Every structure is written in structure tokens, then in C-alpha cells.
């Protein structure tokens, strides 16, 4: 009877995607949890062959609703941007002076859109599913009721034998699974050393108490247009692999992701090129009160694969990059904790980077629009330091300072006008994180 109810719930919800990334946690915790601060849920533990049946009338194992509420206030001494958009919805870099309004002016914003909610179906069973949404829209600077849901995770997992799990749908990429601490849950040092993101994929994971092996076939990158295009017609799926060694509450591992992409598809100058990324990662717990996370990455044309990095290749050039981050959190007492992080990403051949923006014909300097040519940064680095006050297990008040230093590739008109491509932004984010 329970199996029939679960099947009806999954079918009626239309759910599909994949198993979870490592060490994605809520600020104020050192262990992975489902309503994660940056991205939810750790890698599922090895399942038992037959999970214990719940007591009659007990639906806890069938449906579990969860969420993270995070109202925040942000202030900075200059322009900032969130994934190329000139606002503070999820800060990833200092603001591009050609695209930001009054780039040297102090500004502030209130944000609630990084809040998220979701549910698990049959979370403790061999067949389980998850759906999660948030409300982020990088094209809206400070929305109120204009915020709309954004689909984050939708996947079905099946543990067909103890330690063996397959997963299908939209989930965190098998590649580059570690995320930093902090209140900026969606920004999360992306484009500044943290290279992973979400993907629609089919995963297989083999897990034991001491190690984990995984492989995945996925879609190369999102296509948000109405028509099937080069990604659906000309590109190969991505292939990802990951290996992790686990000891106590710590883990170290390596992962890689690769495919072959066409540029100028079916044109006279069509070219195929390799797009790949590789990472070394670790999450270490030297004590019960200390958590350390590290990623080192290297890639070619990796931004073309939907990864949140800087190297976006094109028909004429392949771009390679190198980067990484370190993030550490230390509990001082039961209620007080501090954390800090630093991240950096750099394109290795700066001359191949093109601007992320352009000017409409006849438009003056200062009226740029995004051109879809990638992040447009030669390098991007950040340092963030935070303090947490946790009056209860589920509630944290956070005060986090940040510094971004970003170097942008400019259009010739801006170079001639003497606009400095190096931008620095200093600021503060503060707010609450309530997980349930």
C-alpha cells in the first residue's frame, strides 16, 4: 500500500533528477544538511536493502517539507554584479564599469529571493524524490512581489542494491561538489574559484563507508530559447566521473567533466573543440568545531558547459583557466562561530577574453547591453569574513564582510575613454538564516 502511494505521488508530481553534492551546508553548521546554505543535501548514505517500515499512520518517511528563509541587507562602496547582471541579488564580482549605473557610487539593497523551499518523497527509502525552488532572478535588482519561483532541483533516486544508487533529473553536478560557507547562498564564490553548478543528468553512485565512486551522463548546458539548437542537435552529452575517499567526517576527492562542442554549427567555418574541467576537492574536520573546504580547478571552455567559471570558448579560440577557493568555519562556543574564505579564478591567456557587453549602434558610452559572450573577466578574486550568532539550532544571525577585485575586458571605446578595467568593491551582507 505504501509503495502504491509513493508511486502515485512521484508520477503526479512529474519529478526527475539526481543525487546530491557533497558538503553544502547552512551557515552555522559544519555538517551537510538537506536545507543547505549554498546547495542542499549531502551524498546519500549507503541504503539498507529493506528500510524499516513506518508505524501505521506515520507519513514522516513519505513526505518531508523543508526550507531556508534568508532575509538580508547588503551595502557596498561601489557597483557589484551577480552573474554579469549589475545588482546585488547574489554577488559574484565587482561591477563592470561599462554596464553598471554610477559604478563608483555607494549602494544598498534588501533581498529575500535566496530563500528556498522544497520537499522529499520517501526520503529514507530505496526509491526517493526531491523538488526544490527558490526565488532568485538576476535581472531584477530589488524585487518585492515581482519575485517568481525558480526551479532548482527535481530528481528521482533509486537504491537498487545496498551502496548502489542511480539518479535521474536536475540536480547538483556530479563534478566539483564542494561549496563554501557564508550567507550568500546563491553567489557562493562562483566565478571566483567555485566552478560547479546544476545539471540535468543521469548519475550512478557506488558508496561504502570509506569511499565513493560516481559517473554521470548529462546535458551540456542550459538552452533557454524556444528552439532546439546546437546543444540539442550538434553537441554530445557530458561525461563526468568522481572519486572520493572518506574518513570520519572528512573527505578528499577528484572529479572531471568533459564533452565535445561545435562552434558555428553547420556553417562553413564549423569547428569542434574539447570542453572539459577537472577538480581536486576536500572537506576536512580536524575537530568537532572546525570545518575546512577546498577546491582547485582547471578547465578549457568550461563556462560553455554551464559551469560558473570564466573560460568561455568561441569559434576562433579555446580558453583555459585555473582557480580555486578555501573556506573555513570555526565554532567558538555553542552560540558563536566565525568563518572566512578566499577564492580566485583566472583565464590563462588574457588576450583571448572578449567583453561581456556591447553598445547598440550609435549608443553613447554608459548605455551598454550584455552580448551573451560570457563573463568577460580576465580574473576575479574575493575575500569574505563572517560572524554567526546561533540562538537555536535552526536560526543563525550572520554578519559578513566582503572584498571583490575583478578585471574586465573592455570595448575599444571604453579603453579610449580611460575607464579602468580593474574594479574593487568592499561591502557588508547581514541577515538571518532560518532552516526548517
pLDDT digits (tens, 9 = 90+) for 140-164: 999 999 999 999 999 999 999 999 9
For residues 416 and 48, is the Cβ–Cβ distance under 8 A?
A: no
Residue 204: its pLDDT value, please? Answer: 98
Backbone angles phi, psi at 304, to 5 degrees: -70, -15
Mean pLDDT of the chain: 88
Predicted pLDDT of residue 60: 54
Percent of the chain with pLDDT over 90: 82
Residue with the larger pLDDT of the pair 4 and 317: 317
Q: What is the pLDDT of residues 120-140, one digit of tens each?
A: 999 999 999 999 999 999 999
More confident residue, 36 or 24: 24
35 pLDDT higher than 50? no
R_g of the chain computed on alpha carbons = 22
Q: What percent of the chain has a predicted confidence (pLDDT) above 70?
A: 85
pLDDT band at 43 (very low <50, low <70, confident <90, very high): very low
Summarised one tens digit per residue, pLDDT across range 215-248 is: 999 999 999 999 999 999 999 999 999 999 999 9
**The pLDDT of residue 1:** 45
- Nearest alpha-carbon partner for 231 in 269, 260, 203: 260
Residue 56: pLDDT over 70: no
pLDDT in tens, 407-427: 999 999 899 989 999 999 999
Q: Quick one: average pLDDT of 97-110?
A: 95
Residue 123 burial (CB count, 10 A): 19
Residue 42 pLDDT > 50, yes or no? no
Band of residue 367 on the pLDDT scale cut at 50, 70, 90? confident
Residue spans per domain, the chain:
2-435
Tell which residue, 364, 420, 369, has the closest CA to residue 94.
Answer: 420
What's the pLDDT score for residue 334?
87
Whether residue 28 has pLDDT greater than 90 = no
Residues 164, 48: contact at Cβ < 8 Å?
no
373-410 pLDDT tens trace = 999 999 999 999 999 999 999 999 999 999 999 999 99
Cell (9 digits) for 203: 548519475
Which residue, chain included where needed, has cell 538537506?
Answer: 34
The pLDDT value recorded for residue 362 is 67
Handedness of CA 363, 364, 368, 373 (dihedral sign): positive
Q: Is the pLDDT of residue 12 over 80?
A: no
pLDDT value at residue 33 = 29
Sign of the CA dihedral running 377, 380, 386, 388: positive
Q: What is the pLDDT of residue 4?
A: 47
Model pLDDT for residues 352-365, shown as the tens digit of each residue: 999 999 988 767 76
The answer regarding whether domain 2-435 maps to CATH 3.40.605.10 reads: no
* Least reliable range by pLDDT among 41-45, 61-65, 175-179: 41-45
Q: Is the pLDDT of residue 282 over 60?
A: yes
Amino acid at each position: 500500500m505504501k509503495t502504491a502511494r509513493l508511486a502515485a505521488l512521484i508520477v503526479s508530481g512529474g519529478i526527475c533528477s539526481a543525487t546530491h553534492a557533497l558538503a553544502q551546508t547552512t551557515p552555522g553548521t559544519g555538517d551537510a544538511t538537506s536545507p543547505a546554505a549554498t546547495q542542499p543535501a549531502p551524498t546519500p548514505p549507503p541504503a539498507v536493502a529493506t528500510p524499516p517500515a513506518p508505524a501505521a499512520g506515520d507519513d514522516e518517511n513519505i513526505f518531508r517539507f523543508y526550507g531556508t528563509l534568508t532575509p538580508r541587507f547588503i551595502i557596498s562602496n561601489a557597483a557589484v554584479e551577480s552573474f554579469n547582471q549589475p545588482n546585488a541579488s547574489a554577488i559574484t564580482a565587482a561591477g563592470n564599469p561599462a554596464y553598471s549605473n554610477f559604478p563608483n557610487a555607494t549602494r544598498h539593497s534588501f533581498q529575500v529571493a535566496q530563500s528556498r523551499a522544497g520537499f522529499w518523497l520517501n526520503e529514507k527509502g530505496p526509491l526517493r524524490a526531491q523538488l526544490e525552488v527558490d526565488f532568485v532572478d538576476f535581472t531584477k535588482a530589488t524585487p518585492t512581489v515581482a519575485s517568481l519561483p525558480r526551479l532548482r532541483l527535481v530528481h528521482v533516486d533509486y537504491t537498487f542494491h545496498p551502496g548502489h544508487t542511480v539518479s535521474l533529473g536536475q540536480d547538483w553536478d556530479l563534478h566539483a561538489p564542494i561549496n563554501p560557507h557564508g550567507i550568500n547562498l546563491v553567489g557562493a564564490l562562483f566565478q571566483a574559484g567555485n566552478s560547479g553548478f546544476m545539471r540535468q543528468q543521469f548519475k550512478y553512485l557506488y558508496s561504502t563507508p570509506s569511499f565513493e565512486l560516481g559517473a554521470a551522463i548529462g546535458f551540456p548546458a542550459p538552452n533557454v530559447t524556444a528552439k532546439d539548437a546546437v546543444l540539442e542537435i550538434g553537441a554530445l552529452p557530458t561525461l563526468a566521473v568522481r572519486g572520493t575517499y572518506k574518513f570520519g567526517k572528512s573527505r578528499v576527492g577528484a572529479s572531471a567533466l568533459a564533452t565535445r562542442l561545435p562552434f558555428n554549427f553547420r556553417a562553413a567555418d564549423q569547428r569542434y573543440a574539447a570542453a572539459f574541467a577537472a577538480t581536486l576537492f576536500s572537506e576536512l574536520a580536524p575537530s568537532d568545531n572546525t570545518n575546512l573546504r577546498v577546491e582547485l580547478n582547471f578547465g578549457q571552455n568550461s563556462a560553455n558547459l554551464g559551469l560558473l567559471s570564466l573560460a568561455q570558448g568561441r569559434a576562433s579560440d579555446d580558453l583555459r583557466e585555473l582557480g580555486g577557493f578555501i573556506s573555513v568555519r570555526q565554532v567558538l562556543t555553542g552560540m558563536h562561530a566565525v568563518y572566512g574564505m578566499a577564492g580566485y579564478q583566472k583565464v590563462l591567456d588574457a588576450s583571448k577574453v572578449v567583453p561581456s557587453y556591447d553598445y547598440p549602434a550609435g549608443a553613447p558610452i554608459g548605455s551598454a547591453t550584455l552580448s551573451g559572450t560570457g563573463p568577460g573577466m580576465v580574473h576575479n578574486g574575493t575575500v569574505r569574513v563572517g560572524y554567526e550568532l546561533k540562538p537555536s539550532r535552526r536560526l543563525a544571525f550572520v554578519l559578513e564582510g566582503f572584498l571583490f577585485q575583478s578585471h574586465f575586458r573592455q570595448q575599444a571605446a571604453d579603453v579610449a575613454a580611460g575607464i579602468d578595467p580593474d574594479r574593487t568593491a568592499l561591502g557588508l551582507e547581514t541577515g538571518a538564516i532560518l532552516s526548517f
